[in-house]
Amino acid sequence: MTKREPAKLLRRLRPAKEPGKLHQALDGIRVLGPRKSWQVALSTATHAYWDWRYPAPRPTWDAPGSTPGCLLARDECPDGFNARFERADLEVRFLAADLLRVTWHPGLDPVPYAIERHDWAGTAPEAAELAVDLSDDGALAFTTNDGRLLRRDSPPQRHGDGWHHGAALHDGERVHGLGERALPFDLRGHSVEIWNRGPGGRYGPGVDPLYLCVPVYVGLHDEGSYLVFYENSHRARLSFEDDLDARFDGGALRYYVVPGPVPRALERFTELTGRPFLPPKWVLGYHQSRWGYCSAQEVRDVVDGFERHDLPLDAIELDIEYMDEYRDFTVDDEDFPDMQGLSSELEAKGIRLTMIVDAGVHRKRGYRVYDEGHAQGRFCRLPNGREMRGVVWPGWAAFPDITDPDTRRWWGGQYQALLDAGADGFWHDMNEPTTFSLGGEDWPPLMTRHAMDGRGGSHAEAHNLYALLMARAAFEGLRRLRPHRRPWLFSRSGWAGLQRYAWNWTGDTVSTWPTLHQTVSTVLGLSLSGLGFTGPDIGGYQGDPSPELYVRWFELATFLPLFRTHCAYDNPPREPWAAAKGLTDAVRAHLRLRRRLMPYLYTTAWQATQTGWPPIRPLFWEDEADQRLARVDDAFFLGDHLLVAPVLTEGAQSRRVVLPKGTWYPLDGGESIEGGGVIEVAAPVDHTPVFVRSGAAIPMDEDGELKLHAYGAPAHGVLYSDAGDGYGLWRVDRFTVSDRGALETSGEGDYPSAGAQLHLHR
Ligand code: MIG
């Protein structure tokens, strides 16, 4: 069996420095081969034809919009009110004292895919934390009970099927979130699109949109802070250039308002859209990946390299080359003759195996998944009833209608084949969904039909939801197929609520210093969108990072939830000893540090399941009033107690750190430092400045022994522990170190206690 494997054919080709469109197109043809390139050309043309044949309704942004008109009637109800206007209807509901839902009609209500909790008791407006003031023209003002104006919304305007929503922003108001962005941390002055799509190759700072857009943001200004979530999955543009200007292409205009401070608002938002799940513990270890581990032997060689260089390894990811002809849920048994055996071999060394799954299913008779899906009517259809097709890696592909509950169940069942092959985790890619295109739209035609759980709808509404529902299908499938193990998957695309089912990674970045710096803002933005479990391809996806750049990227990722090296097929070797040539010691030191921090990281992940708080937090997290912390985009908190100041510039031997008020200790010991100012700290290439809040006790794993490092006394700390997987016993230990240095522990839960040894830093 011959197959076209870009990784095998092209691994010696170096990427061009700055490829233009033509270069990218030629590159694409070279990678895909003439046959699939021809299919892409054909697919581009038929996509254009379907768009012409079945045009999607378009909002009339150029024509004047229609305002609600005058208020005709207002009816109070126990938890809010309804208001009728000449040309629109408004519904305002307090789901809780600090959770307000506003809905403007006309337009279809969303199918509540983002929503986890539905059974809100409701709160009487008088008992709420916000006052809502409705004007006769439909303007709304949201004020706290002590009279602070959080947000003032203009009357919305209807443009055909679209809604235009404006809100006044305060002077100096800062805006963060909106899912995955390659924009500055503060999005004020910027405009973002809500439409999940790949950047078509690789991206660096400034590219928008990306794979995972979420219409949620936090706003902070002199009078307070708040969170707003638009529960509307249509294509949208939100501009914060001046005041907020938001345009949604369809649907009802529904949004939620939650008053700050930000940690509390995120707690509420994740109560509404769901808390993250607790991953198996190994997931918090180090993952090695590359597009182009093409055979079992190659995987073994990589593992040997880690052993030879004395570098701990926790997981290997298999990209599309493990599949047979890029067909989902198959294994190439020539190059991976005994995948299950390979998996057991790795497991014996404590290394897990995860496998990629793409959204598109090869349309090929005789391929079980396609035949079954086709016979059962599982794939998306065009308005004329024919199966929608697009070209992706295997060639012509069909796309499961993942908005149909039966299809989700069917899809979830497919993971059995990969579990049988020894997969421990999964990786969802191309799930925006992306279809290849020659300069056209690289997504399915907008009028592609979707079940939308029985309500019916088109791809215009389903597109942004696709990856969320694919993750849901997989997560729920894995719960059924392997009930005694905790599922883990990470996904390129998603929407609000993805945290219930999947982690994320930040996709195909270009290997440059500005992109390394960008990573911090991107991760913070995702975190403030409820999606805290993410991380970058260490070294950047595409390019040839210098050893220094690779090492600094590695150091940053040491302190992020997903700790993984990955790169494209045509890059030079990206195993740490090759990529960090001459600096492997720095990599080893950080791998060991990650292992030491494991109890703290695992506890932080568990905390997220309880509170929705992201592991990675902006410096203003606990002090929204301190202007010096407001826009810091080169440092962050990891969990409750660590402040990480990664080095993000070339050639640095030291860096500036804005320290919040209070006393801080260097993580690795040494004199305490008074915060509230800016300090310059040494940061040679093998060192990342990390500070611990005074009064914190950090549980660490030191060669299998649990050590509690208390920084100053008195100190407090928490440790969550369990078997590392499954749904069995657990325990939570709360540590108190008295000012005399005596340790007291109060435990909850039945998992056996490890018994911590105290190490006191004074
Ligand atoms: O069209 O599976 O972002 O991580 O290596 C590229 C091959 C498809 C994109 C992913 C990248 C992965 C690659 N994929």
Whether residue 3 is predicted with pLDDT greater than 70 in this model: the reply is no
Element (DSSP H or E) covering residue 362: strand 361-362
Provide the greatest CA pair distance for the chain: 78
Q: Is the CB of 492 under 6 A from ligand 1?
A: yes
Query: What pLDDT, on the 0 to 100 scale, is given for residue 20?
Result: 64
- Confidence label for 13 from pLDDT (cuts 50, 70 and 90): very low
Query: What pLDDT, on the 0 to 100 scale, is given for residue 21?
Result: 67
- Confidence label for 375 from pLDDT (cuts 50, 70 and 90): very high
Is 508 among the residues known to form the active site? Answer: yes
Q: Is the CB of 567 under 6 A from ligand 1?
A: no
Q: Is the CB of 391 under 6 A from ligand 1?
A: no
**Candidate from 31, 32, 319 with most ligand 1 atoms within 8 A of CB, to mutate:** 319
How far, in Å, from the CA of 507 to the mean position of ligand 1?
8
Distance CA 204, CA 506 (A): 11
Atom of ligand 1 nearest to the CA of 507: 3
612-634 pLDDT, tens digit per residue, is 999 999 999 999 999 999 999 99
Q: Is the CB of 432 under 6 A from ligand 1?
A: no
431-441 pLDDT, tens digit per residue, is 999 999 998 89
Which residues fall within 8 angstroms of residue 526, CB to CB, at 6 or more apart? 179, 180, 212, 504, 506, 532, 534, 614
- Confidence label for 19 from pLDDT (cuts 50, 70 and 90): low
User: Comparing 517 with 11, which gets the higher pLDDT?
Assistant: 517
Whether residue 6 is predicted with pLDDT greater than 60 in this model: the reply is no
What is the mean pLDDT of the segment spanning 180-190? 98
| Per-position b or e across 534-562, b if 16+ CB within 10 A of its CB | bbbbbbbbbbbbbbbbbbbbbbbbbbbbb
Cis preceding linkage at 205, omega within 30? no
How far, in Å, from the CA of 290 to the mean position of ligand 1?
10
pTM, rounded to two decimals: 0.97
Average pLDDT of the chain is 96
Q: Which amino acid is at 230?
A: Y
In terms of Cβ atoms closer than 10 Å to its own Cβ (0-12, 13-18, 19+), residue 298 is middle
Is 62 among the residues known to form the active site? Answer: no
Q: Is the CB of 564 under 6 A from ligand 1?
A: no
Cis preceding linkage at 614, omega within 30? no
Which residues fall within 8 angstroms of residue 28, CB to CB, at 6 or more apart? 37, 40, 436
What SS3 state is found at 730?
strand
Is 442 among the residues known to form the active site? Answer: no
579-597 pLDDT, tens digit per residue, is 999 999 999 999 999 999 9
> Residue 489: beta bridge partners?
426
Q: Is the CB of 442 under 6 A from ligand 1?
A: no
Strand order across the 390-392 sheet: 361-362, 395-398, 390-392
Query: What pLDDT, on the 0 to 100 scale, is given for residue 22?
Result: 73
> Residue 289: beta bridge partners?
317
Nearest to 299 by CA among 358, 355, 219: 355
- Give the residue whose CA is nearest to atom 12 of ligand 1: 291
Atom of ligand 1 nearest to the CA of 566: 4
Q: Considering the candidates 5, 429, 575, 624, report the single residue annotated as catalytic.
A: 429
Which residues fall within 8 angstroms of residue 454, CB to CB, at 6 or more apart? none
Residue showing tokens 């609600």: 68
Q: Considering the candidates 317, 432, 461, 544, report the single residue annotated as catalytic.
A: 432
Query: What pLDDT, on the 0 to 100 scale, is given for residue 411?
Result: 99
Q: Is the CB of 291 under 6 A from ligand 1?
A: yes
Which residues fall within 8 angstroms of residue 671, CB to CB, at 6 or more apart? none
- Confidence label for 16 from pLDDT (cuts 50, 70 and 90): very low
Distance CA 716, CA 710 (A): 8
Distance CA 738, CA 716 (A): 9
How far, in Å, from the CA of 245 to the mean position of ligand 1?
34
**Candidate from 196, 429, 534 with most ligand 1 atoms within 8 A of CB, to mutate:** 429
Instruction: Report percent pLDDT > 70 for the chain.
Output: 97
Q: Which amino acid is at 633?
A: D
DSSP class of residue 66? B
What is the mean pLDDT of the segment spanning 460-469? 99
How far, in Å, from the CA of 194 to the mean position of ligand 1?
21
Atom of ligand 1 nearest to the CA of 569: 5
Q: Is the CB of 290 under 6 A from ligand 1?
A: no
- Confidence label for 256 from pLDDT (cuts 50, 70 and 90): very high
317-359 pLDDT, tens digit per residue, is 999 999 999 999 999 999 999 999 999 999 999 999 999 999 9
> Residue 656: beta bridge partners?
680
Distance CA 274, CA 270 (A): 5
CA 256 to chain CA mean position, Å? 21
Q: Is the CB of 59 under 6 A from ligand 1?
A: no
Strand order across the 663-666 sheet: 616-617, 636-638, 642-644, 690-693, 663-666, 673-674
Atom of ligand 1 nearest to the CA of 492: 3
First to last CA, the chain: 66
Distance CA 307, CA 301 (A): 10
- 515 backbone φψ class: left, alpha, beta (φ>0; ψ -120 to 50): alpha
Distance CA 23, CA 202 (A): 13
Nearest to 93 by CA among 110, 75, 108, 107: 75
Cis preceding linkage at 106, omega within 30? yes
Atom of ligand 1 nearest to the CA of 198: 3
Domains and CATH numbers, the chain: 1-53+280-487 (3.20.20.80), 71-273 (2.60.40.1760), 695-762 (no CATH)
How far, in Å, from the CA of 158 to the mean position of ligand 1?
39
Whether residue 42 is predicted with pLDDT greater than 60 in this model: the reply is yes
Cβ neighbour number for residue 2 with a 10 Å cutoff? 4
> Residue 749: beta bridge partners?
731
Cβ atoms of residues 166 and 72 within 8 Å: no
Distance CA 520, CA 13 (A): 31
Atom of ligand 1 nearest to the CA of 358: 2
636-694 pLDDT, tens digit per residue, is 999 999 999 999 999 999 999 999 999 999 999 899 999 999 999 999 999 999 999 99
How far, in Å, from the CA of 429 to the mean position of ligand 1?
7
How far, in Å, from the CA of 513 to the mean position of ligand 1?
21
Nearest to 256 by CA among 226, 229, 224: 229
- Give the residue whose CA is nearest to atom 5 of ligand 1: 291
Q: Is the CB of 508 under 6 A from ligand 1?
A: yes
Atom of ligand 1 nearest to the CA of 211: 3
263-292 pLDDT, tens digit per residue, is 999 999 999 999 999 999 999 999 999 999
